[in-house]
Each structure stands twice: as structure tokens, then as C-alpha cells.
Amino acid sequence: DTAVSQTPKYLVTQMGNDKSIKCEQNLGHDTMYWYKQDSKKFLKIMFSYNNKELIINETVPNRFSPKSPDKAHLNLHINSLELGDSAVYFCASSRGGVAQHFGDGTRLSIL
Amino acid sequence: QKEVEQDPGPLSVPEGAIVSLNCTYSNSAFQYFMWYRQYSRKGPELLMYTYSSGNKEDGRFTAQVDKSSKYISLFIRDSQPSDSATYLCAWAVSSNTGKLIFGQGTTLQVKP
């Protein structure tokens, strides 16, 4: 009965590949987010969707493309992976804005 | 100047100590203030949330906000080894957009 679940937990891949991370929430929230946490634990928002509509799109390379098929799901597709993309990617959800529930992250390592 | 400054630590204290964690910010537009706790290899979890200056208490945790000084603190009383984690301060300009700005996090270790 995990509230916000992400798959996969670990992703190890070669530079130049394309990969996707999936996120699902069962809290009935209307807003979902993607965050990136770097090696120094700095957590930065990338995107947010409200009722399947993109509402936050920070300065992120267009190799990153979020997709929300419905309110409970938000996926992140990354094209042409680069070494600098290595990080932990967190999905979160909320009803409204500030009290966000996070998943346990996807650890992406680029070889 | 960074929007948010937080001492990354690590901070090591003995069990039972009072812990003070602090953040400063530069953006006067911030209206909502949060503390998140993140255990190793887990996602952040919301500990405290307030939108006004003053103190807010929840069990052993007290959040203090001083908007005039642009300073927020989290106090942990009677610290326990289970409090060992990284503590992230966060801000939002409004409750509608959900855009949170996080501090770098302070790593706390409570030794038995």
C-alpha cells in the first residue's frame, strides 16, 4: 500500500541510451512532480503536473520529457543520457501545493 | 546569493541532546515554510509546515520562523538515534504552484 511508488529503484545504463522512470500515487492527489537530487543532496524541482496538465517546467534540457497519462501516474522519459544525468530522481504528489509526499527515488547511474 | 542557505553538517550529538537546525533565505516572497526529513536511501517526508512567523510545536519537534530576519529553525528535544537523518528546509511562494525551493540539507547523527 505504498503511497508514491517509483520503478525502477535502480537504473544503470550507458551514455547515449534512452530510459524511462515510472511513478504512481494512490493518495488521490491532483498534482505530481519530478525532482532531481544530486550527489550533494541538493533537491531541485524539474516538472509538475496538475490534473494531467504541465504547470511547472524548470530549466531542464529538452532530453527530459514528462508524460502524465492520468492523475495517478507521471512518467519521465530521458533521451540521449549524459554523465551529468547521474542522480536520484524523486517523484512526489500533493493535494494542492506544499505538503508533498515523495517516493523513495530512482538511482540513475550513467556509465 | 543563493536563495536558501543551510549548513550541510554533518552534525553529531549524543542521545538526549537538544538539536538546532537552521536555514536562511533571501527571497521575501516566500510565504510557506517546511521541514522535511530524509533517511538514507529514502524519499523526503514532511515533518512540519507553517505559513506564519512564530513557533509551531509537534511532539519533540518545534519549528520557528522569523520572516523579518528571513530565518527558520527546527529544534529537536530529547534527540533519539532514530532522528539520525538529513533534514531539509524548504520554502514556497504560494500554496498553488507547488514549487518548493529546498536547502541543501543538514545531516544529523544522534549517537546512543
CB atoms within 10 A of CB A102: 24
For B42, the closest of A44, A94, A104 (CB atoms) is: A104
The residue count for chain A = 111
CB atoms within 10 A of CB B106: 22
* Three-class DSSP category at B21: strand
Instruction: Among B11, B23, B94, B100, pick the best mutation site for testing chain A contact (most A Cβ within 10 A).
Output: B100
Would you place residue B61 in the very low, low, confident or very high pLDDT band (cuts 50, 70, 90)? very high
pLDDT, tens digit (0-9, with 9 covering 90-100), for A60-81? 899 999 999 999 999 999 999 9
Asked if B14 has any chain A CB less than 8 Å from its own CB, the reply is no
Q: Cα-atom radius of gyration of chain B, to the nearest Å?
A: 13
* Whole-number Cα distances in Å, A53 to A73, A75, A104, A105: 12, 13, 24, 23
The residue count for chain B = 112
Asked if B45 has any chain A CB less than 8 Å from its own CB, the reply is yes
More confident of the two residues B103 and B29: B103
Q: How many angstroms separate the CA atoms of A13 and A22, rounded?
A: 16
Would you place residue B1 in the very low, low, confident or very high pLDDT band (cuts 50, 70, 90)? low
For A31, the closest of B8, B42, B98 (CB atoms) is: B98
DSSP element (H, E) containing B93 = none
Contacts of B107 in chain A (CB under 8 A): 41
